[in-house]
């Protein structure tokens, strides 16, 4: 097996990155492009041996990295950001080839956000503090101590951006990292290892192990030397990770699935509401935060649906490398089969496809809107993770809130209304980690991010990230307790 493959003119090493050097496995797995189903290359397939070696490298590198000054850690993170910015075009091409998301989105927003992730947490680290406070004359001082080696398991829908959303704060906190990228989109994690090494990140501080979660996941998450685990993905996988981590009480941060609502009230700007609704097809519906359940007030439901259908008809689906494309392929034939199975079961149960409801070919699923769906139906209750939306109606504000909260998830919610008082009332009642009012997907890294119920455990972002990746310590000092050695 060659150590490197060329993707869109970009050379990518197919081996793991462990302890500051490339490590090959005896077996490989095939990386396939969702654009055309063609083989990109053979990737080193990690085993428990590589997982253990990566954790050992992270453990060995931890004391020195933890002792590195905040200023020096921040400098290196900024250097990594510089490296990302120099390679935006290369990273964009590789990412689009590997996961099928729009090339224009990678160039203009997603990959620049990768650099921002490093810069933000580097800067936040330098101002991270808590004011000292007094207790009966004693001084309390809060500090954030690096926790140790951290295992970060990341998804395939925004591979590099979501990986660095975890890697950047973990490194800033003084932890060392073992990154396990999704097997359907592993390539940019390998490029990140190169960029980090070029930026001067010491050997062993960042390690990348590729492979199947079913084969190496437990070796990483059950390891006694791992002190933090952060995972983004499905609820069933999260449960297995939690069971694995329980043996050593390893703290977890879990960002899981969603079945988020878009509530449209009759007093909303309908053009805005429709724009927000059509935006849910972004990344072929493969967005955990997507508002896939439309809840529309009865009096405007017909007009909303008409405008939505007109707007959706203007979307172009096709090759994500084309600047005119709005919706690209789904990540993998297995995911496409899963999406279609959801839709066909819903149709068989009485749902009606206003648009879509079928595959376009082996890589693409037609943007779909289903109506006549029951609240307790699978299509309303379970995450599809594809370009499939449902529409239900409500007659009162109370009914809207009840329907919005009536799933096991609680990741996000979007609200369209022209009434500020209603917005305040409704948002207070919605079960969600993030609520957007008359907007969608506005994200600031200093804000808390996470889900409620089965959508996750914990919050990350800003100081919340350091609270997770560190051992937060309070030191209490008595007054007048010092001996005079003068």
Distance CA 130, CA 140 (A): 10
Distance CA 50, CA 56 (A): 10
Distance CA 436, CA 56 (A): 42
Residue 256 backbone dihedrals phi, psi, to 5 degrees: -115, -150
Q: What are the E-state strand segments in 375-458?
A: 388-394, 412-416, 434-437, 456-457
Which distant-in-sequence residues (6+ apart) come within 8 Å of 229 by Cβ?
Answer: 150, 151, 152, 153, 220, 221, 241, 245, 250, 251, 252, 253
Which distant-in-sequence residues (6+ apart) come within 8 Å of 282 by Cβ?
Answer: 290, 441
Distance CA 65, CA 172 (A): 10
Provide the 10 A C-beta neighbour count for residue 342: 20
Which distant-in-sequence residues (6+ apart) come within 8 Å of 337 by Cβ?
Answer: none
Q: Give the three-state DSSP class for 295.
A: strand
Q: Cβ distance 284 to 96 under 8 Å?
A: no
Q: Cβ distance 195 to 80 under 8 Å?
A: yes
Distance CA 35, CA 112 (A): 23
Catalytic machinery residues: 255, 288
Alpha helix segments (H runs only) across 88-158: 88-99, 103-105, 111-127
Q: Cβ distance 386 to 339 under 8 Å?
A: yes
Tokens 């359940």, residue? 293
| Total length of the chain | 486
Alpha helix segments (H runs only) across 128-186: 159-172
Which distant-in-sequence residues (6+ apart) come within 8 Å of 316 by Cβ?
Answer: 324, 325, 326, 327
Q: What are the E-state strand segments in 220-290?
A: 228-232, 252-255, 261-264
Distance CA 436, CA 361 (A): 34
Residue 415 backbone dihedrals phi, psi, to 5 degrees: -130, 130
First CA to last CA across the chain, in angstroms?
70
Distance CA 56, CA 164 (A): 22
């Amino acid at each position: 097996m060659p150590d490197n493959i060329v993707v869109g003119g970009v050379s990518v090493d197919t081996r793991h990155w462990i302890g500051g050097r490339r490590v090959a496995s005896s077996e490989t797995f095939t990386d396939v492009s969702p654009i055309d189903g063609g083989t990109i290359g053979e990737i080193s397939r990690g085993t428990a041996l590589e997982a253990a070696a990566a954790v050992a490298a992270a453990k060995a590198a931890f004391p020195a990295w933890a002792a590195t000054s905040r200023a020096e850690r921040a400098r290196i993170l900024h250097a990594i950001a510089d490296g990302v910015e120099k390679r935006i075009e290369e990273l964009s091409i590789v990412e689009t080839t590997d996961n099928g998301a729009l090339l224009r989105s990678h160039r203009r927003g997603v990959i620049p956000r990768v650099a921002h992730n490093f810069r933000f947490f580097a800067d936040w680290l330098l101002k991270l503090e808590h004011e000292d406070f007094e207790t009966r004359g004693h001084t309390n001082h809060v500090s954030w101590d690096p926790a140790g080696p951290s295992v970060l398991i990341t998804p395939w829908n925004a591979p590099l951006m979501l990986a660095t959303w975890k890697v950047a704060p973990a490194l800033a906190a003084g932890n060392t990292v073992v990154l396990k990228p999704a097997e359907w989109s592993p390539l940019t994690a390998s490029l990140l290892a190169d960029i980090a090494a070029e930026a001067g990140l010491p050997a062993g501080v960042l390690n990348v192990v590729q492979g199947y979660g079913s084969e190496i996941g437990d070796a990483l998450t059950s390891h006694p030397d791992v002190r933090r685990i952060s995972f983004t993905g499905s609820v069933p996988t999260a449960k297995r990770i939690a069971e694995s981590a329980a043996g050593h009480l390893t703290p977890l941060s879990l960002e899981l699935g969603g079945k988020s609502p878009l509530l449209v009230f009759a007093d909303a700007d309908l053009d805005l509401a429709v724009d927000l609704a059509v935006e849910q097809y972004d990344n072929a519906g493969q967005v955990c935060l997507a508002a896939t359940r439309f809840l529309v007030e009865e009096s405007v439901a017909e007009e909303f649906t008409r405008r939505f259908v007109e707007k959706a008809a203007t979307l172009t689906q096709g090759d994500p490398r084309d600047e005119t494309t709005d919706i690209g392929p789904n990540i993998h034939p297995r995911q496409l089969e899963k999406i279609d199975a959801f839709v066909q079961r819903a149709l068989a149960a009485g749902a009606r496809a206003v648009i879509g409801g079928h595959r376009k070919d082996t890589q693409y699923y037609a943007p779909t809107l289903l109506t006549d769906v029951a609240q307790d139906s699978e299509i309303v209750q379970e995450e599809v993770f594809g370009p499939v939306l449902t529409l239900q109606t409500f007659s009162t504000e109370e009914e809207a809130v009840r329907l919005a909260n009536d799933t096991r998830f609680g990741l996000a919610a979007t609200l369209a209304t022209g009434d500020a008082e209603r917005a305040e009332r409704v948002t207070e009642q919605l079960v969600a980690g993030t609520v957007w009012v008359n907007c969608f997907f506005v994200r600031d890294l200093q804000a808390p991010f996470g889900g409620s119920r089965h959508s996750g455990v914990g919050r990350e972002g800003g100081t919340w990230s350091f609270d997770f990746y560190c051992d937060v310590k309070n030191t209490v000092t008595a007054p007048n307790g010092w001996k005079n050695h003068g």
